[in-house]
Protein backbone atom coordinates (compact mmCIF):
# COMPACT_ATOMS: atom_id res chain seq x y z
CA UNK A 1 0.00 0.00 0.00
CA UNK A 2 2.89 2.36 0.83
CA UNK A 3 6.31 1.92 -0.70
CA UNK A 4 9.54 3.91 -0.75
CA UNK A 5 12.31 3.04 -3.21
CA UNK A 6 15.61 4.79 -2.65
CA UNK A 7 13.68 7.77 -1.30
CA UNK A 8 16.07 10.64 -0.62
CA UNK A 9 15.68 14.29 0.35
CA UNK A 10 18.44 16.88 0.59
CA UNK A 11 18.24 20.50 1.67
CA UNK A 12 21.51 21.90 0.42
CA UNK A 13 24.24 20.10 2.38
CA UNK A 14 21.73 18.61 4.82
CA UNK A 15 20.68 15.03 4.13
CA UNK A 16 17.17 14.80 5.61
CA UNK A 17 16.42 11.32 4.26
CA UNK A 18 18.86 8.87 2.73
CA UNK A 19 17.89 6.09 0.29
CA UNK A 20 14.88 4.82 2.23
CA UNK A 21 13.52 1.45 1.09
CA UNK A 22 10.27 0.56 2.81
CA UNK A 23 7.10 -1.38 2.01
CA UNK A 24 3.98 -1.28 4.19
CA UNK A 25 1.22 -3.78 3.45
CA UNK A 26 -2.52 -3.34 4.02
CA UNK A 27 -3.30 -3.79 7.71
CA UNK A 28 0.24 -3.02 8.88
CA UNK A 29 0.97 -0.38 11.52
CA UNK A 30 4.53 0.75 10.88
CA UNK A 31 5.94 2.98 13.62
CA UNK A 32 8.94 5.21 12.94
CA UNK A 33 10.94 6.10 16.03
CA UNK A 34 13.74 8.62 16.18
CA UNK A 35 14.89 11.94 17.58
CA UNK A 36 13.84 15.26 16.09
CA UNK A 37 15.51 15.60 12.70
CA UNK A 38 15.81 11.84 12.18
CA UNK A 39 13.76 11.98 8.96
CA UNK A 40 10.35 10.80 10.21
CA UNK A 41 8.32 13.85 9.21
CA UNK A 42 10.28 14.17 5.97
CA UNK A 43 9.22 10.63 5.06
CA UNK A 44 5.56 11.41 5.71
CA UNK A 45 5.75 14.69 3.78
CA UNK A 46 7.22 12.87 0.78
CA UNK A 47 4.35 10.37 0.74
CA UNK A 48 1.91 13.30 0.94
CA UNK A 49 3.73 15.12 -1.90
CA UNK A 50 4.12 18.14 0.39
CA UNK A 51 7.76 18.14 -0.72
CA UNK A 52 9.50 16.62 -3.74
CA UNK A 53 12.23 13.98 -3.38
CA UNK A 54 15.78 14.73 -4.42
CA UNK A 55 15.89 11.18 -5.78
CA UNK A 56 13.96 7.95 -5.46
CA UNK A 57 10.23 7.38 -5.45
CA UNK A 58 7.25 7.14 -3.09
CA UNK A 59 4.28 5.00 -4.12
CA UNK A 60 0.75 4.81 -2.74
CA UNK A 61 -1.12 1.73 -3.93
CA UNK A 62 1.29 1.55 -6.86
CA UNK A 63 0.80 5.19 -7.82
CA UNK A 64 4.00 7.22 -8.07
CA UNK A 65 3.39 10.21 -5.79
CA UNK A 66 5.74 12.43 -7.75
CA UNK A 67 4.02 11.73 -11.07
CA UNK A 68 0.39 11.64 -9.91
CA UNK A 69 0.09 13.45 -6.55
CA UNK A 70 -3.66 14.05 -6.78
CA UNK A 71 -4.41 10.43 -7.61
CA UNK A 72 -2.20 9.18 -4.77
CA UNK A 73 -4.02 11.42 -2.27
CA UNK A 74 -7.29 9.65 -3.04
CA UNK A 75 -6.10 6.68 -1.00
CA UNK A 76 -4.64 8.66 1.91
CA UNK A 77 -5.75 10.31 5.11
CA UNK A 78 -3.36 12.42 7.18
CA UNK A 79 -3.46 13.36 10.85
CA UNK A 80 -0.73 15.81 11.89
CA UNK A 81 0.37 16.48 15.46
CA UNK A 82 -2.15 19.32 15.64
CA UNK A 83 -5.32 18.49 13.71
CA UNK A 84 -6.40 21.65 11.90
CA UNK A 85 -10.16 22.10 12.12
CA UNK A 86 -12.45 25.12 12.02
CA UNK A 87 -13.13 26.10 15.62
CA UNK A 88 -16.32 27.98 14.79
CA UNK A 89 -17.86 24.86 13.20
CA UNK A 90 -19.16 21.79 14.99
CA UNK A 91 -17.54 18.39 14.70
CA UNK A 92 -20.29 17.36 12.30
CA UNK A 93 -19.87 20.48 10.16
CA UNK A 94 -16.10 20.01 10.02
CA UNK A 95 -16.51 16.41 8.91
CA UNK A 96 -19.03 17.44 6.25
CA UNK A 97 -16.67 20.16 4.98
CA UNK A 98 -13.53 18.00 4.77
CA UNK A 99 -15.43 15.15 3.18
CA UNK A 100 -16.75 17.54 0.53
CA UNK A 101 -13.18 18.72 -0.16
CA UNK A 102 -12.27 15.09 -0.79
CA UNK A 103 -15.25 14.65 -3.11
CA UNK A 104 -17.16 12.53 -0.58
CA UNK A 105 -20.81 13.44 -0.05
CA UNK A 106 -22.81 11.74 2.69
CA UNK A 107 -25.97 12.60 4.58
CA UNK A 108 -25.86 13.83 8.16
CA UNK A 109 -26.91 10.47 9.59
CA UNK A 110 -23.94 8.76 7.93
CA UNK A 111 -21.56 11.50 9.10
CA UNK A 112 -22.84 11.20 12.67
CA UNK A 113 -22.30 7.45 12.49
CA UNK A 114 -18.69 7.96 11.36
CA UNK A 115 -18.01 10.35 14.24
CA UNK A 116 -19.51 7.90 16.71
CA UNK A 117 -17.44 5.09 15.21
CA UNK A 118 -14.33 7.23 15.69
CA UNK A 119 -15.22 7.52 19.37
CA UNK A 120 -16.46 11.13 19.52
CA UNK A 121 -19.06 11.40 22.31
CA UNK A 122 -22.61 11.97 21.10
CA UNK A 123 -22.84 15.19 23.08
CA UNK A 124 -19.79 16.64 21.32
CA UNK A 125 -20.89 16.05 17.73
CA UNK A 126 -22.94 19.26 17.58
CA UNK A 127 -20.57 21.35 19.69
CA UNK A 128 -18.08 23.82 18.28
CA UNK A 129 -14.63 22.35 17.77
CA UNK A 130 -13.13 25.29 19.69
CA UNK A 131 -14.35 23.47 22.84
CA UNK A 132 -12.66 20.16 21.89
CA UNK A 133 -9.62 18.57 23.48
CA UNK A 134 -6.75 17.40 21.26
CA UNK A 135 -8.00 13.82 21.53
CA UNK A 136 -11.48 14.84 20.36
CA UNK A 137 -10.04 16.74 17.40
CA UNK A 138 -8.07 13.65 16.41
CA UNK A 139 -11.27 11.62 16.46
CA UNK A 140 -12.74 13.98 13.89
CA UNK A 141 -9.60 13.34 11.81
CA UNK A 142 -10.13 9.59 12.14
CA UNK A 143 -13.78 10.06 11.14
CA UNK A 144 -12.59 11.80 7.95
CA UNK A 145 -10.40 8.77 7.18
CA UNK A 146 -13.35 6.43 7.79
CA UNK A 147 -15.72 8.50 5.66
CA UNK A 148 -13.18 8.64 2.79
CA UNK A 149 -12.60 4.88 2.99
CA UNK A 150 -8.90 5.78 3.15
CA UNK A 151 -6.67 2.80 2.48
CA UNK A 152 -3.61 4.34 4.11
CA UNK A 153 -3.27 6.60 7.14
CA UNK A 154 -0.25 8.83 7.79
CA UNK A 155 0.26 10.07 11.35
CA UNK A 156 2.81 12.54 12.69
CA UNK A 157 3.24 12.39 16.49
CA UNK A 158 -0.47 11.61 17.08
CA UNK A 159 -0.14 10.84 20.80
CA UNK A 160 1.97 13.89 21.68
CA UNK A 161 0.20 15.83 24.43
CA UNK A 162 -2.52 13.24 25.00
CA UNK A 163 -3.27 11.95 28.48
CA UNK A 164 -2.92 8.17 28.97
CA UNK A 165 -6.66 7.51 28.52
CA UNK A 166 -6.87 9.48 25.27
CA UNK A 167 -3.65 7.89 24.03
CA UNK A 168 -5.02 4.42 24.70
CA UNK A 169 -8.30 5.26 22.93
CA UNK A 170 -6.34 6.48 19.93
CA UNK A 171 -4.32 3.27 19.82
CA UNK A 172 -7.52 1.22 19.91
CA UNK A 173 -8.87 3.19 16.95
CA UNK A 174 -5.70 2.49 14.98
CA UNK A 175 -6.00 -1.21 15.68
CA UNK A 176 -9.61 -1.19 14.43
CA UNK A 177 -8.54 0.50 11.20
CA UNK A 178 -5.65 -1.93 10.84
CA UNK A 179 -8.06 -4.86 11.23
CA UNK A 180 -9.98 -3.46 8.24
CA UNK A 181 -6.85 -3.50 6.11
CA UNK A 182 -5.83 0.14 6.43
CA UNK A 183 -2.05 0.61 6.17
CA UNK A 184 -0.71 2.94 8.86
CA UNK A 185 2.58 4.85 8.84
CA UNK A 186 3.15 6.64 12.15
CA UNK A 187 5.99 8.90 13.24
CA UNK A 188 6.23 8.93 17.01
CA UNK A 189 8.42 9.43 20.07
CA UNK A 190 6.12 7.22 22.13
CA UNK A 191 8.00 3.92 22.56
CA UNK A 192 5.22 2.41 24.65
CA UNK A 193 2.52 3.02 22.01
CA UNK A 194 4.83 1.87 19.23
CA UNK A 195 5.35 -1.40 21.08
CA UNK A 196 1.65 -1.86 21.85
CA UNK A 197 0.24 -0.76 18.49
CA UNK A 198 2.88 -1.37 15.85
CA UNK A 199 3.25 -4.49 13.73
CA UNK A 200 6.76 -3.30 12.81
CA UNK A 201 9.01 -0.64 14.25
CA UNK A 202 11.76 1.22 12.42
CA UNK A 203 14.37 3.27 14.26
CA UNK A 204 15.64 6.27 12.31
CA UNK A 205 18.76 8.32 12.85
CA UNK A 206 20.09 11.20 10.76
CA UNK A 207 17.88 10.39 7.80
CA UNK A 208 18.55 6.66 7.76
CA UNK A 209 16.52 3.64 8.84
CA UNK A 210 19.08 2.02 11.12
CA UNK A 211 17.10 -0.89 12.59
CA UNK A 212 13.84 -2.79 12.04
CA UNK A 213 12.14 -4.56 14.95
CA UNK A 214 9.19 -6.88 15.43
CA UNK A 215 7.38 -5.60 18.55
CA UNK A 216 5.98 -9.08 19.21
CA UNK A 217 9.47 -10.49 19.61
CA UNK A 218 10.87 -7.92 22.06
CA UNK A 219 9.95 -6.47 25.44
CA UNK A 220 9.49 -2.82 26.33
CA UNK A 221 12.94 -2.67 27.93
CA UNK A 222 14.50 -4.25 24.82
CA UNK A 223 12.92 -1.60 22.61
CA UNK A 224 14.06 1.19 24.90
CA UNK A 225 17.59 -0.22 24.99
CA UNK A 226 17.77 -0.51 21.19
CA UNK A 227 16.41 3.00 20.74
CA UNK A 228 18.82 4.59 23.21
CA UNK A 229 21.75 2.72 21.68
CA UNK A 230 21.08 4.38 18.33
CA UNK A 231 20.63 7.80 19.92
CA UNK A 232 24.18 7.84 21.27
CA UNK A 233 26.52 10.40 19.73
Distance between CA atoms of residues 218 and 6, nearest Å: 28
Hey, which residues does 187 pair with through a beta bridge? 32, 156
pLDDT at residue 58, as a whole number: 98
The rounded percent of the chain whose pLDDT value lies above 90 is: 79
The rounded percent of the chain whose pLDDT value lies above 70 is: 100
Residue 53: other Cβ atoms inside 10 A:
20
Query: Looking at the predicted structure, is the pLDDT value of residue 233 above 70?
Result: no
Query: Looking at the predicted structure, is the pLDDT value of residue 76 above 70?
Result: yes
Tell me: the pLDDT tens digits for 26-63? 999 999 999 999 999 999 999 999 999 999 999 999 99
pLDDT at residue 203, as a whole number: 97
Sheet holding 208-213, edge to edge: 76-79, 152-156, 183-188, 29-33, 200-205, 208-213
DSSP state string for 45-56: HHHTTSS--SEE
Cα angle 22, 156, 146 (rounded to 5 degrees) comes to 90
DSSP symbol at 122: G
Band the pLDDT of 231: cuts 50, 70, 90.
confident
Summarize the confidence of residues 165-172 as an average pLDDT: 87
| 155, 194 contact by CB (below 8 A) | no
Amino acid sequence: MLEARGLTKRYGDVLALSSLDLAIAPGEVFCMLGANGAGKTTTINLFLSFIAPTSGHAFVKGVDVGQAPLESKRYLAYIPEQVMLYGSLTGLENLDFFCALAGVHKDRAALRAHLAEAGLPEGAIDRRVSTYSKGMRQKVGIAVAIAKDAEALLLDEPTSGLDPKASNEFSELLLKLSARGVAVLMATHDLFRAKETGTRIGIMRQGRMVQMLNPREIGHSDLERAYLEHMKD
